[in-house]
């Protein structure tokens, strides 16, 4: 699960791809809030190191440097 915080939203992306969002001020989500949550989630990289290590536990991660 990945978690992202913006100025107004708390966004969680579950391992199955489900998107959970809520406002930090606890008011109901608006359509604009939902659109922003989708936009932020879509802008994230598709595969992260955490995803790879979950599939291949014990793998060694090398940097280019």
Sign of CA dihedral 21, 37, 50, 15: positive
Helix and strand tally (H, E) in the chain?
A: 2, 3
Asked whether the beta carbons of 30 and 55 are under 8 A apart, the reply is no
Region 40-61 average pLDDT: 80
Q: How much is the pLDDT for 1?
A: 81
| Per-residue pLDDT tens over the stretch 3-37 | 889 999 999 988 777 899 999 999 999 999 999 99
Is 27 exposed, middle or buried, given 0-12, 13-18 or 19+ CB atoms closer than 10 A? exposed
Which residue shows structure tokens 């949550």?
Answer: 37
Q: What is the pLDDT of residue 22?
A: 96
The pTM assigned to this predicted structure is: 0.67
């Amino acid at each position: 699960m990945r978690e992202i915080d913006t100025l107004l939203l708390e966004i969680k992306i579950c391992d199955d791809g489900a998107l959970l969002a809520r406002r930090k001020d606890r008011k109901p989500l608006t359509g604009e809030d939902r659109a922003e949550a989708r936009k932020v989630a879509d802008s994230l990289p598709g595969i992260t190191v955490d995803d790879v290590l979950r599939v291949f536990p014990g793998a060694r991660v090398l940097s280019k440097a």
